A and B are shown apart, each in its own frame.
Chain A
Amino acid sequence: MISVGQPFAFNCTLPPQTLEEVNITWFRNTNKIPISKNLQSRIHQEQSWILFLPMTQRDAGIYQCVIKTVDSCYRIHVNLIVFKKYWCRTSRKSPTNLSDEYIQTLHFGKDDSLTCHLNFPESCVLELSKWYKECKEIKEERFNSVGMKLFVKNVSAEDRGMYACLARLTHEGKNYTVLNDISVDVRKLEYGVPKITYPRNNTIEVELGSPLTVTCNITDFRDNTNLRCWKVNNTQVNRYYAQSKRIREGYESSVPLEQYIWYTVNITFNQVDLEDYDRPFVCHAGVSAAYIMLKFPVSDPRAYLIGGFIALASAVLSVVYIYHLFKIDLVLWYRSAFLSTGNIRDGKLYDAYVLYPKPQSGSQSHNLDMLVLTILPEVLERQCGYKLFIFGRDEVPGQAVASVIDEMIKLCRRLIIIIVPESLSFGLLKNTSEEQITVYQALVQDGMQVILIELETIKDYTDMPESIKYIRQKHGAIQWSGNFMAEPQSAKTKFWKKVRYRMPAARAPSSSCRTASGRMSRN
């Protein structure tokens, strides 16, 4: 569609373009006489072009271009519709469908340009003279005309509208003007990286074996060609699970919104497998990526297992603790309930040999005598029925000390050593041959169990003999906690329970220690 009064040119090209020698001739309609090749003629042919300098209303119609090559011939028909253009006269505006307007787009907020398209053979010299907007010449500094282009800085919405470019065409010394109308629209273009709104590198609790579908939500700008997909191990899930198809990617859906497009892509697990846990499944959208990671729910079998184990362990620990607390009572109760009374047939005569520092003067010495000669026999012998060998009470006078100890210790099941703080025992336990022999016998020869009783708290063992230190380390010591009154002692106090616990299990004659009061009442 061409407007009247303007120069017009049309190029006849043979597609596909060949390098062959071609002969092109233009004809009007079915006229046998070709279009003139005289450059002065208003309508003439120049190389493959047909030129109208200028176009008139009468030139409308069908033209044909005949292309002859060595072995073929082509005929191209061109229908020229000519109309009168009323530039800048809005009352007589041409209908849009009969318009030769160019359509161009400027991009909002950017520096952009319009182009004046002038398509003429090289014999025509073209010079762009003016740009118009809405019929007014453009003179603003924001616009800059260079060559065939009009550069527009910082495009705004007001830049849309009807533009025109005016050019001077010189051909064979004659001047013509070409006026192109350009309808300009302004379009907003947004570019940037896609945003993944879900997932957000989060975990999902899911039962083993259950189905699962997760949707990746993406917002991306219009006109993007980004790939959106789910990947595992840097491979698309559909390819990774190509055989089993256990995990599949769903179809992508898109919803165009005003500013951007909202996309969703699903990933579906037919059945969540053990290998799916703690492994990132990554949703990709162009350069953006975000993952989900599957986790066992809090009430999963593994958690039960762990919980059960913890409960069992704490129960075992509690039992051990309670046993430790009541060990002595339990053992004493067991002995009284189940062990038979009567003499143990081990060839021993005494249950314990009592070793103590030699009596000295003073209250502590009195206390020691009280304990060894009164309280010990009272509780262990009379109440509990044990038989003790107390040196200084039970030996036969006149016997050599060494031989007495040597013989007697072999007849005893336990060795009870009573120690007092250093000030009292100094020089006694350390040097007396009796103690040395006893301890030696007990530790080396018989492997006898030793019961160490501290009369008072002994803070410092450094000056004690090595044997005593060893015994304390191996068997521990029992701290005397009673008083030294002549009043009856009960075998059921904590101290005596500890002593009895360390004494032999079976003894004669009674099964359990009688209470002191009971005994006293009988006497």
Chain B
Amino acid sequence: MGQVSARKEPLLGNIQDISHQVWLFQDQTLIAVPRKHGVVPVNVTLIACNYPETLEKNKGNPIYLGLEEPQVCLCCRELEGQPTLQMMKQNILDLYHQTEPVKPFLFYHNQNGRTSTFESVAFPGWFIGVCSKGHCPLIITQELGSIYTTDFVLSLLQ
């Protein structure tokens, strides 16, 4: 089947949490660290899924989320009975051009005021989060509160 979609390139942007920690790709891990001069945040790639009508409504825009360099995509898989956030070597446009939504790679991007949440489509109720004290790897969590920050600010590079 030919290319269905109209978008040529994914969106590029940075994500930081409400404690001003940016996402950093370090030693094959995505961590959140305080933004400083000399800390180069990783560029995230985002692209809206073409089939929002097949997914839950009112949860936000279903999007694929990846990194520009290295070319990986964030995905949620069950590991030892626990939903786990992983990074898979994957071109985000390949996911985008699939004829069906690829749920493990999809997140509901919900923009509420200035902050955004990223909820796993495969595991509803599980959100991308970082530990509040910082310098921790990104995870997905059901615990929304003091231990983990699940509120982020998305800034797109236009």
Chain A residues at the B interface, C-beta cutoff of 8 Å = 1, 11, 15-17, 96-97, 99-105, 107, 110, 112-115, 117, 119, 149, 189, 191, 222-229, 234, 236, 238-239, 242, 245, 249-252, 254, 256, 261, 265, 286
B residues in contact with A104, CB < 8 Å? 20, 35
CA distance A96 to B37 in the complex (A): 7
A114 and B4 form a contact (CB under 8 A): no
CA distance A251 to B158 in the complex (A): 17
Nearest neighbor of B37 in chain A, beta-carbon distance: A99
Nearest neighbor of A184 in chain B, beta-carbon distance: B20
Interface residue tally of chain B, by bracket? 35 or more
Q: From residue B93, how far is it (CB to closest CB) to chain A in Å? A: 13
Select one of B6, B28, B111, B134 contacting A252, CB under 8 A.
B6
* Between-chain CB contacts (< 8 Å), 12 pairs: A11-B135, A15-B137, A99-B37, A115-B34, A223-B154, A225-B48, A225-B111, A228-B6, A238-B6, A242-B1, A254-B158, A256-B158
B20 and A102 form a contact (CB under 8 A): yes
A227 and B48 form a contact (CB under 8 A): yes
A101 and B7 form a contact (CB under 8 A): no
Q: From residue A67, how far is it (CB to closest CB) to chain B in Å? A: 12
CA distance A436 to B95 in the complex (A): 102
CA distance A459 to B47 in the complex (A): 89
B36 and A224 form a contact (CB under 8 A): no
B111 and A191 form a contact (CB under 8 A): yes
Using known A-B contacts A107-B114, A236-B4, determine if residue A227 contacts B49 with beta carbons closer than 8 Å.
Answer: yes
CA distance A252 to B11 in the complex (A): 12
Within 8 A of A (CB), among B89-122: 99, 109, 111, 113-114
A225 and B109 form a contact (CB under 8 A): yes
Is B2 an interface residue, CB under 8 A from the partner? yes
Is B142 an interface residue, CB under 8 A from the partner? no
A234 and B53 form a contact (CB under 8 A): yes
B13 and A223 form a contact (CB under 8 A): yes
A residues in contact with B156, CB < 8 Å? 222-223
CA distance A189 to B109 in the complex (A): 17
B20 and A115 form a contact (CB under 8 A): yes
Is B69 an interface residue, CB under 8 A from the partner? no
Nearest neighbor of B154 in chain A, beta-carbon distance: A223
Q: From residue B47, how far is it (CB to closest CB) to chain A in Å? A: 8
B residues in contact with A107, CB < 8 Å? 114, 153
Nearest neighbor of B18 in chain A, beta-carbon distance: A113
Is B46 an interface residue, CB under 8 A from the partner? yes
B residues in contact with A103, CB < 8 Å? 20, 35-37
Q: From residue A229, how far is it (CB to closest CB) to chain B in Å? A: 6
Select one of B34, B49, B158 contacting A261, CB under 8 A.
B158
Within 8 A of A (CB), among B1-34: 1-8, 11, 13, 16, 18-21, 26-29, 34
